[in-house]
Amino acid sequence: MTASSYSLTEFVEDLRQITAEHSEDSSILREVTPLAQRFAADPTWRDEKHYEADEEQGIGFHLLHEEPDNTLAVFAISWLPGKGVGPHNHRTWSVVVGVDGTELNTFWKRTDDGDKPGFATIEETSRRDIGHGEVIGMDGNAIHSVINNGDQTTLSLHVYGMHLNHSGRSLFDPLANTEEKLIVKVQD
């Protein structure tokens, strides 16, 4: 290890301290964002297996850390060429850092009141390519979609306040105006 390395263990300890000291998403995001960027830049955590993806999903979710109560989940996520995930929320704060390749993130705004189960209307608000070292921080209400428009598998680091399969997150269909529960397959 070099003097400038930042291990997963150190990163998780910092996440624990930040979330113990702050409860608002905005404060957590402000503190976690530069640390996630620092951790993502340290090549010692990366492995070739992190580029493997479930062919059916088009994405590989590789769990690096999760607390016993399903909080503080850290993933390496790979995206096959031309694959992604439609508009979805996380229902927890999240920080995404580009590691290898570029992924297009499209951001959406919910326009209905959310009172009718299974129904949702959303509209696109912006788009942003995320490449190596670039960061997106999102509160629990943010809605975005992701696609790898390139011809190589991409890799990004994702940090969540709660494991996505335990947060109650949703997948939205802007054409059918639907909302449904979203669960992902985790590789390891």
Chain segment 18-68, per-residue pLDDT in tens: 999 999 999 999 999 999 999 999 999 999 999 999 999 999 999 999 999
pLDDT of 1 > 50? The answer is no
From the number of C-beta atoms within 10 Å of its C-beta (0-12, 13-18, 19+), residue 100 rates as middle
Q: Is the dihedral of CA 51, 136, 172, 170 positive or negative?
A: positive
pLDDT of 175 > 50? The answer is yes
Q: Per residue in 89-141, pLDDT tens?
A: 999 999 999 999 999 999 999 999 999 999 999 999 999 999 999 999 999 99
Q: Structurally, what CATH architecture does the domain formed by 8-181 represent?
A: Sandwich (2.60)
Q: What is the pTM of this model?
A: 0.94
Which helix (H) or strand (E) covers residue 33, if one does? helix 25-41
pLDDT of 187 > 90? The answer is no
Output the pLDDT for position 48.
Answer: 96
Output the pLDDT for position 4.
Answer: 73
- Max Cα–Cα distance, the chain, nearest Å: 54
Task: Compute CA distances 131 → 44, 85, 104, 108, 171, whole Å.
Answer: 19, 17, 9, 20, 24
| Domains of the chain, residue spans | 8-181
